[in-house]
Structures are given as structure tokens and as C-alpha cells.
A and B are shown apart, each in its own frame.
Chain A
Amino acid sequence: MSDSPLRIVPSKPAPRPTIEDTEAQATPPEAEGSVGEMEELRRLLLEPEQLQLGNILERLNNPRVRAREMSRPLPEAIRLRNAQDDALSEALSPTIVKAFHASIKKDPRPVAEAISPLMGPAIRRAISVALSSMVQSFDQALKYSLSWQGVKWRWEAVTTGKSFAEVVLRHTLLFRVEQVFLIHKQTGLLLQHVTADPTITQDADIVSGMLTAIQVTIGNFARDSFGSGEIEQIDTLDMGEREVWFESGQHAVLAVVVKGEAPESLRTDYFAPALETIHTAQRDDFNAFKGNPAPFEDSRPILEECLQSQYQGRVKTANFKVPLYLRVLFALAILAFGALTFFAVRSQWRWHNYLNRLKTEPGIVVTETGLQWNKRFIAGLRDPLAANPDTILSEETPINPAGVVSRWEPYQALDAKLVLARAKKILDPPAGVELKFNRGTLSAVGTASHDWISETQRAARLLPGVTAFDDQNLADEDLKEPEELRQRIQQRVIRFVMGGAQIAPGQTQDLQTLMTDVQRLFAIAPAAGRNVRLEIIGHTDTEGDELSNQRLSQQRAAKLFSMLLSTQLNPSSLVPVGVGSAQPVRAETTDADKQFNRSVSFKVSLLDPRQIKSQERR
């Protein structure tokens, strides 16, 4: 710091000792007297300066004092320097950025708190813009879909082959900024491109170059034609439906493709400010640009702000206005027509359903339908046992029966359901019998009286549609007791004494029961339509020769035969036979078996006279 105010310049030119030098100098002992005087003289001469010097040293060496003093002119100095040029901002910029990063890294909250008042409204605004544009487009779509205008445009869309949205756009669009190109001024290279319609697929790089080329061409033309020294800057290219607006800055050109009649204020409100903002924010990127457009991605939101559009709030309508009463009449007519159509269609639909219902109903054949004096008319065939069409009409359909004229001719239907119904009606089966009908065969299952069975066997075949009657599973309730008696009699064995035709003692009760059973059987069999045939079979044991056994067995049979005859039975129904030892009652192994084989057993046949007759006929 050779030029600093620390150095004191003495009045004599040389030697030039400094204060520090003087203070640091050792004093020789031999000169003490004169030194004291010199000191005194110096003090007297230099005291005010020394005091000042002390003050200055104090100010310079004490950092707090220096800081306090520097703080006074600092704001003014910054102001002056900023007014002069941007050097201070540029110098401070990296430090501020660094400090900002460091601060956020350390604790992002203060920064977040500081910018939150700005972010809130910005986000709200973005959302509200998005929402309102959505509501607007929805509103427009709805409005034009439902209006007469909408119908016309839809027709236009159909006839011209354009989409409905396109037609609506064409009629309602005042203007729309379709694309924005940010073009490097010197090279014509595309820095950034935004579009309102993401379907636009033209290569923006090439378009950017061509837009620049056209600008140069027209600029040259203007200079050649009108003699201007500088190349003219093109503002607007008119391309019929579209215009390209150019906004030129120091480093870049904004080329904005506008459809429709856009207000000139867009330039001052959007395009010029956008270009200025980009220039300010990306000055370094412009300066360093060597063909890489990546840094200009940051300018995208700014360019997107330029994608403005405006639609007609109201659609122009023809001056001719239809009077209100005519409109009301027209509306009423439409309403009436609609109502009539509705009722007609509904009535037709219901009638159709009724006819279909009748078609599925067995025993009903519709042969003719139509309209007769404003009434519906239906004619056909109906089995008396089929469902009643009038009941179906009134109970199953909402059709007013008063509006329907029906004429049904009776006939016998051969539908299984009706054949069965008819059989039930005619045959009147008793409670224990169930009738079934399947493929021409009428079956009866259960128990019935002999008379009913006989009658049914005869009558069933006469029923229309019945080709066979199956009574396999039908039991004759009148045969029940004869059957029981038959089995009891057949189980009975009357034993005889060895070698003789006398009944062995101790069988009085058995004989009595036998007589009673036989008499009862003969008495009730005719009621069940059966004739009784009782075979009285005489047996012997195997003792003795077969000839005498044969004879003995016949005698035994004859014994019982004569006993039964005494009960007034028809002799022709009793058949005594002797079988000797040929058909033993039991296999003969013990004496007890032999005892049983010296006996008479019975075989009862309940004969159906009709079967006998048919067998006889054969």
C-alpha cells in the first residue's frame, strides 16, 4: 500500500522516515539529552497531526469501524454503478445464485415462505384459466350441439366431410394463435416451438428455416424495390385464412401463426413482452448459442402464454324472427305428433306382444288379425279346453278389451297338454289315480275300482290323440281281497294220516278257516270280474310204490273235494288232482317232511273272463 494515506510526508525532502520507522528506531544512550529535546520539539510541532494519525489508524485497523463507515456510502455507490452499467449485477449474480442455492440447501422453508404469496395466486390463476377454457369449450359444444345452428353445422360437417368440431371452430372462431416459433435470428434455426393443436405434425425445424428464408427474400425484395438501405423487417405474412406475425428481437425472432382476425394488441400484450422476457432471461444462452436449442426449453411456458384464442360469444342469427304464437304452435304440433307416434308405437308393440303370447298358448290358432272400425280384430280356432284368449287379453296385457273384437271357432287340439286335459275331463279319474300323456300313450298310475278300470280301458282308446292306454301301474282295488284270499288258501296244507285218506287229527280249525276262505273267495271274485278255479292237489310221501301213491293222492284230493262241495260251491270250479309223490310239498329229508307230503295243497286261479274268451277265440 505504498500510495495509501498511512505514509506521512515530512517537510524536508530527505531523509523520509515514516512514523513506524521513527517509533521503531533505537535511541543511542549518548544522545539522550538532545533526544529529549527533540521529542519535546516534535511533540509541540506535530501533536495535531499525530492525533489525526492515531484516529486514522484506529479507523483503519478496527474492522467494525471500517464496516460502519463503508455501510454509509454503499447504497449510493450501488445506485450509481447500476445507473452506469450492468457490471455490478453481473459481478454479483453468481454470488447471489450461489447464496440462494446454499440457503435452499440449508433450509428451504424461508424461501418457500417468501415465494408462497406469489406462487399461490399464480397457481390459482393457471387453474382458473384451465377451468374456464374447459367450461367455455364444454359450454360451446353443448350450445351448438343442441341448437338449430348446431344441426345446420352438423349437416355441413356431413356434407363437407369435415369434423363437427372443425365446422364449429370455423364459424365461431374469431382468432386463434396456432403456433409460435422462437427462431434464432442469425441462423434461422428453431430454438423452441409451441402449438395449440398437438396434431400439427409439420417439421417445425424446416418451417422455421423457410420462414426465415422468406423473410430474407421479402426483405431483399423490399430493398430492391423501394431502395431502402437496410433489409426491411417483415411484420406480417398474409396467407388467406392464416397470418404469420413476426416479432423481432436482438437475437431471436418470434414467428406467430394466427388463424382468424386477431387484434393488433396481441403484439404489445403478449408477443413483444414474451420476446423481451426470453431475451432477458436467456441472454447468456443466446450469446453461447452454437446450434443446441436445449437451453431454450425454459422459454416454453412463456411461449405457451402466447397461444391465445377467442371465440364468438354469440352466433349471428338471421334477422327474420318467427312470431311467438307460431313457435308455440309448432312446438305443440311437434309435441302432439310425438305423443301420437309414441302411443301408436306403444299400442302396436303391445298388440304384437299379445299375438306372440297367443301363439305360445296350446289350443289356440290365430288365423286372422286386422283393424275393423278403429278396433282391432282377431279370429282363429280355439280348443274349448285351451286358455281363454279374452282372459289373457284382459289380465296379462294393458290393452283395453273394449277395443278388440275376437271370434273363435272351437276345435279339438292334439297338443299333449290338451289331450291330457280332455282325458281327465272325460275319464274323471278317482282320487288315487294320476293320468299322464306322452307320445300318444295315456298312462294311469294308482289304484282304482275295477269298474273304473274296465270303463277306462274301453274309453281311453276313443279319445282323440290317444293311441294306447297303459295300465301297468294301475292297481284294481276290487282285486285286493280276492288276491289276499288266494294267497292264504295256497299257503294252506291239510295233512293226512300215513297210508290213508283220513285227515290227520288236530286240523279242525285249519279246515274251518279254509272252508270260510274258499267260500268268501267264491263270493267276492265275480265283483272284481274274476272267475275262481281251485285245484285240489293230493300228495303222498315217497314211501311205497308210485302207483299206489298216485291212487292214494287222488283219494286225498277227493276227500277235500267232497268236503268243499258240501259248502254249495260250483263243482266245475273245483279240480281235484292226485300227483302222488311227484310234486312233494317239501323236499323230503326228515320224517317231519314226510308228514307234510302226506297232504293236500291248493292252487287258486283268478281268471279274467275276457282273457278266457280271447284265449278261447284264439
Chain B
Amino acid sequence: MIQKKICLLGAFAVGKTSLVARFVKSIYSDQYLTTVGVKVDKKTVRLGDEDVNLIVWDLAGEDEFQKVRMDYLRGAAGYLLVADGTRGSTLETARMLEQRVAENFGALPFVFLLNKADLVNEWEIDDQTIESLRAQGWDVMKSSSLTGEGVGDAFQLLAKKICS
């Protein structure tokens, strides 16, 4: 079975880990994120007639005290970039992360997830911004850790992008 390494990137506390928790096979606790800075899970998606094993490197979120180490992205085939719809600053972090990845590894395929779709009333990111991101060529999807909305599709889309 084909295997691909993908990463999960985003600002601190955008809900990356909770977002995928229900969708991946995990043998390690979330403590690894704070101690090691990374936690590896697995997600199998079906592409056409074949299964693809996505080895998901969940990286500790970025904030002003801690930067995501680009070393962890070495060998990744793509990544999920996550921001919190209710916190505009996390979009900036996401933009920054995308740039840093591109600087280090070239244009890696990625899917951008705007999380907390269940709290859409409290969103700081408006549709116009989203459209402008799409205009830049970003695949933007809305997701919710609470309902699981968008997560399966995001994995599917990313797998399709990295295997094409």
C-alpha cells in the first residue's frame, strides 16, 4: 500500500489535534505534542481502487514563543494547514507557515482548513478573505472539531493532490 507523510500545521490552539482525533488511528497520547513537539498518527484514505496510508505528523502549534520546526516537514508529501475562524491572527500564522514551507521545501500540496465552523457567528474571517485566499490558489475548506465536518473531505482532497 502506498504511504505518504503529511503534516498538520497551524497556530497554537486552532484545534488541529481535536479536529483529526476521530479520523485517525492513534497509539500515542496528546502529551507527545507538548513533550516531543510532534505526534504521529495514521489515516487510510481510498483513492479510486487503491488505499493510501497517510502518516500524519501532528506538529505542535506555533505561537510567539515557539516556532514550528521545518525539520519535521522533511519528506512530507503535503500538509493540512489549519486556522481558527474565530481568531483572525491564526490566519496570519497560517499564511506565514505556508510561506516558510514553500521557502524550505518548494510548493508542497496543502489544504487549508478554517476550523470552528460550528461557531460561525463569532468568526473574524469573512467570506471576502476566504475568496481572496482561493484566488491565490488555496484550497480552503471549513471544518469543525465538534461535528467533524470537512475533515474527511480534507484528507481525501489532500491525498488526491499529493498522489496526482
Interfacial residues, chain A to chain B (CB-CB below 8 A)? 184, 186-190, 202-203, 205-210, 213-214, 216-217, 219-220, 231, 290-293
Contact = CB atoms under 8 A, between A and B. Distances in A.
Contacts of B26: 206
Contact of B4 (A213, A216, A291): A291
A217 B71 CA distance: 9
A189 B36 contact: no
Given A213-B38, A216-B71, A220-B71, A291 B27 contact: no
B138 interface: no
Given A189-B3, A213-B40, A203 B55 contact: no
A213 B42 CA distance: 14
B6 to A, nearest CB: 10
A216 B72 contact: yes
* Complex A-B, nearest 8 residue pairs according to Cβ-Cβ distance, in ascending order: A187-B75, A209-B40, A186-B75, A213-B38, A210-B40, A187-B5, A291-B2, A189-B3
Query: What band does the interface of chain B fall in when counting residues whose beta carbon is under 8 Å from A?
Result: 20 to 34
Interface string B22-36: 000111100010001
Contact of B69 (A187, A189, A216): A216
A192 to B, nearest CB: 12
Given A205-B55, A219-B71, A231-B71, A210 B28 contact: yes
Nearest to B76: A187
Contacts of A207: 27
Nearest to B26: A206
A206 B28 contact: yes
Contacts of A214: 36
B71 A209 contact: no
A549 to B, nearest CB: 130
A206 B72 CA distance: 15
Contact of A217 (B25, B28, B36, B76): B36
Contacts of A188: 5, 40, 55, 57, 75
B33 to A, nearest CB: 11
Most chain A C-beta atoms within 10 Å of own C-beta, residue among B3, B28, B39? B3
Interface in B75-111: 75-77
Given A187-B77, A189-B5, 13 more contacts: A187-B4, A187-B75, A189-B3, A202-B27, A203-B25, A206-B55, A210-B32, A213-B40, A213-B57, A216-B71, A219-B71, A220-B69, A292-B3
Interface of B: 1-5, 25-28, 32, 36-42, 52-53, 55, 57, 69, 71-72, 74-77
Nearest to B163: A291
B37 A217 contact: yes
Contact of B42 (A205, A219, A231, A293): A205
A353 to B, nearest CB: 64
A11 B13 CA distance: 90
Nearest to A201: B27
Nearest to A216: B71
Given A187-B5, A190-B3, A291-B3, A206 B74 contact: no
Nearest to B36: A217
A292 B40 contact: no
23 contacts: A186-B74, A187-B4, A187-B76, A189-B4, A205-B3, A206-B25, A206-B26, A206-B28, A206-B41, A206-B55, A207-B27, A209-B55, A210-B38, A210-B39, A214-B36, A216-B74, A217-B36, A219-B71, A291-B2, A291-B3, A291-B52, A293-B1, A293-B3
Contacts of A291: 2-4, 52, 77
Contacts of A209: 5, 40, 55, 57
Contacts of A208: 55
B3 to A, nearest CB: 5
A292 B4 CA distance: 9
B55 A189 contact: yes
A187 B162 CA distance: 14
A293 B36 CA distance: 27
A89 B161 CA distance: 38
A207 B42 CA distance: 10
Contacts of B2: 290-292
Nearest to A224: B69
A213 B56 CA distance: 11
Nearest to B69: A220
A74 B26 CA distance: 60
Contacts of B32: 210
Nearest to A190: B3
A292 B69 CA distance: 27
Contacts of A219: 71
Nearest to B58: A213
A199 B146 CA distance: 36
A214 B35 CA distance: 10
Contacts of B4: 187, 189, 291
B17 to A, nearest CB: 15
Contacts of A210: 28, 32, 36, 38-40
B42 A203 contact: yes
Contacts of B28: 206, 210
Contacts of A205: 3, 42, 53, 55
B47 to A, nearest CB: 12
Nearest to A210: B40
B109 to A, nearest CB: 14
B130 to A, nearest CB: 31
B98 to A, nearest CB: 20
B36 A213 contact: yes
Most chain B C-beta atoms within 10 Å of own C-beta, residue among A187, A189, A213, A290? A213
Most chain B C-beta atoms within 10 Å of own C-beta, residue among A184, A202, A203, A210? A210
A205 B53 CA distance: 9
A209 to B, nearest CB: 3
A144 to B, nearest CB: 34
Contacts of B55: 187-189, 205-206, 208-209
A186 B42 CA distance: 18
